[in-house]
Structure 1
């Protein structure tokens, strides 16, 4: 038992460190060997390293748009045992409210962002919580910022897990039928603004100004699915920093506090809101569906918060 917990902790530490510090790691992987080679005057090694960088650079050049073309899905990679250990660290659990028709496409609105949306990764970028069993023939694509696909340490990892860029072109490609049906775009709707206002006593959803996902749903007839992770905000404590940052900074374990606390996270996938396709939706159409989605989020929160030990937590939608 102790050994398993140590392995889980080490695995989570490696993954989180890679996610957060991939630009620095990439720089060090290139510059440190060059410095050492220059010191020891073994310049022929330098040409080998430069050759490897050149080959990988060419690969990225020709593969640059993969993150906007459905990703590079690998069921085998998504089912590796390391992802189970990642999920068991917290642990993570995925709950469904209703079966999903594989002949439709979906947009999952994920809430809350928390510090790093770790349960979104564990539940939807991997099969650690048995997504493929709960929702057969549905392919979840975790939608990420393009920045995540610029560094060797994370680019191919995310692509093989089916993650895609959250740009409009990428979303439209998945919803247009070019990748078939049964695609679920998992979008962390609050984004960076929501990350900065995370609180442990209140779930704050930054969605009143987020209407692009609603327009996409109407344009392509994709069903909207509200998703709430109960416990995501509790993975990190908010600590003040000499009153310089109003809401404090996320702090977990380790010297620099970037490792999440062990806290159970229950992710509930709500009932889908089926949408009739309107190729050119009006502002009224968008506002109407947006309000319906907000009501669905509120109902999902109220129906589940007491069941998962968060009866003291309130919901605020801004």
Structure 2
């Protein structure tokens, strides 16, 4: 029997989610504006010293980052988890003597399931997968934003650039689980309640990286991710879609027009279940051929499809729901 939440608990949960949504949308811009503003005040030595530090620390994100347990274990993330709630499900053990590339699907509007499970300790990843160290890899451009990059690094987040992946999979020992949201910005534009579309048919870079370093491929599907917001979806070829694609090409991320529940920013209270599937065993090949990449890419898509159908009913979907891969 579910324990009834107190008004204080509900307020803390809503506040925790709202602060994260606002941080996702505005914190990066706010950090840049703050730094520019301070340069024209009597406090100009502060941003000056920071920029000196930034130059000296520029390579840190691509060298394993700077994970801080203090940030990952903030109580605010427990309230964040409980709002939906978010749940992490293990289907098999991951061998801590191996490295893994976890493909996370779908992107949704804000990757809330992936964030809660892999960038905080609120869902118990380290207890669920003993001996494994998880790193969520995201858009590399975000690590160029002053101050904001420090927040990301403290959460154990790293850029999804090639140097970063090379370091995590070849210079950090074994027991590394690198999470890549494969569909990226394009997939976010397809996010809508009742839709189960993943952008992956032509996304093969993560497979090539796995082959180069002998890291097994693990499909991950987050049920409920696309139910959190209602999005205005423009049809292919429309002016709205062309503008979104242009913005995505220039900036690296897509401007989604969405609305949530309260205040428009708060997501709908929908259970979010992130299921980690069985690894696709990969042999190390420093210079994989296109045929080898295609072979393992096909095996991965099959594993993801199997994972979706095995868990869709237990995660609240009907048997009729299908996974669409584009």
TM-score higher than 0.5: yes
Identify the match of residue 251 of structure 1 among 259, 268, 292: 259
Aligned to 1:284: 291
Q: Secondary structure at the match of 1:194?
A: helix
**CA pair 3-147 structure 1, distance change in 2 beyond 3 A:** same
What is the TM-score when the length of structure 2 is the normalising length?
0.88
Identify the match of residue 203 of structure 1 among 174, 196, 202: 196
For residues 44 and 167 of structure 2, what CA distance do their matches in structure 1 show?
35
Aligned to 1:25: 30
Task: Output one character per residue of 1:109-143: Cα deviation in whole Å (capped at 9) or x when no partner.
Answer: 00000111111111001111000100111111100
**CA pair 33-159 structure 1, distance change in 2 beyond 3 A:** closer
Task: Output one character per residue of 1:209-236: Cα deviation in whole Å (capped at 9) or x when no partner.
Answer: 0111111111111010000000000010
Aligned to 1:43: none
User: What is the CA-CA distance between 1:34 and the residue it aligns to?
Assistant: 7.6
After the TM superposition, which residues 206-245 of structure 1 pair with which residues of structure 2 at under 5 Å, given as runs?
Answer: 206-239=199-232, 245=240
Instruction: Give the number of equivalent residue pairs.
Output: 305
Aligned to 2:151: 157
- Unmatched 5+ stretches in structure 1: 36-45
- Choose 1 or 2 for highest CA Rg: 1
CA RMSD between the two structures: 2.1
* Kept in 2: contact 1:22–1:151 (CA 8 A): no
User: What is the CA-CA distance between 1:79 and the residue it aligns to?
Assistant: 1.8
Query: Which stretches of structure 1, 4 residues or longer, exceed 4 Å deviation after superposition?
Result: 30-35, 240-248
- Unmatched 5+ stretches in structure 2: 1-5, 245-255
* Kept in 2: contact 1:19–1:154 (CA 8 A): no
**CA pair 19-249 structure 1, distance change in 2 beyond 3 A:** closer
Aligned to 2:138: 144
Identify the match of residue 112 of structure 2 among 96, 114, 118: 118
For residues 240 and 151 of structure 2, what CA distance do their matches in structure 1 show?
33
For residues 38 and 152 of structure 2, what CA distance do their matches in structure 1 show?
26
Identify the match of residue 315 of structure 1 among 303, 307, 323: 323
For residues 293 and 194 of structure 1, what CA distance do their matches in structure 2 show?
18
User: What is the CA-CA distance between 1:295 and the residue it aligns to?
Assistant: 0.3
**CA pair 149-258 structure 1, distance change in 2 beyond 3 A:** farther
User: What is the CA-CA distance between 1:206 and the residue it aligns to?
Assistant: 0.4
